[in-house]
Amino acid sequence: MNRSAGRMFLVATCLVALLAVACSSEVERCPKCGMDVRSAPRWIAGLTRDDGTELSFCSPRCLFAWRHQVGAEGNFWVTEYYSQQRRPVEGMHFVVGSDVVGPMGAALVPVEGKEAAERFLHDHDGERSVEFSEITVELLQSLKKGS
């Protein structure tokens, strides 16, 4: 790489960095509770619609409450507790009643795999783990009382 190419590369790198900073300062609010979803990145959950647009929530709890409220459909995803990776809700275990607190208080903690769910239940004094299909309005309301 010659000198001017090197300089170009540096300028381009700076531009990318600037852009990243500018974008990250943009506030994305949870459609359910209004908090900035990026203030607690490890809890972000959301919905990808069929047209590819996305909606992000501060936590699985807000996502599911909102889903029941508006009857939304689409591909729901959560941030897995251990890996911090985005995962589809199907096949995840959600631990209720543990000592881990989310942005909204009592949390539904998404854990991938039966073994990890059992480990989490044991390590964090969880009450039980449920699947996505078992997350009902009643369950969400019982969380509210507990927090």
Does residue 108 bind Zn ion (CB under 5 A)? no
| Residues of this chain, 44-73, that bind Zn ion according to CB under 5 A | 58, 62
- Using the minimum distance from each CB to Zn ion, give the nearer residue, 6 or 105: 105
When the beta carbons of 67 and 121 are compared against Zn ion, the nearer one is 67
Shortest distance in whole angstroms from residue 124 CB to Zn ion: 21
**Structure token pair of residue 53:** 């647009």
| Contact status: 32 vs Zn ion (CB under 5 A) | yes
Q: Does 33 sit near Zn ion (CB under 5 A)?
A: yes
What minimum distance in Å lies between the beta carbon of 11 and Zn ion? 39
Residue 30 C-beta: closest distance to Zn ion, Å: 3
Total chain residues near Zn ion (CB under 5 A): 5
Residue identified by tokens 């949390």 is: 107
When the beta carbons of 32 and 93 are compared against Zn ion, the nearer one is 32
Residue closer to Zn ion (CB basis): 61 or 117: 61
Query: Among candidates 115, 108, 114, 102, which has minimal Cα distance to 140?
Result: 108
Q: Could you count the other beta carbons within 10 Å of the beta carbon of residue 22?
A: 9
30 makes contact with Zn ion (CB under 5 A): yes
Residues that bind Zn ion (CB under 5 A): 30, 32-33, 58, 62
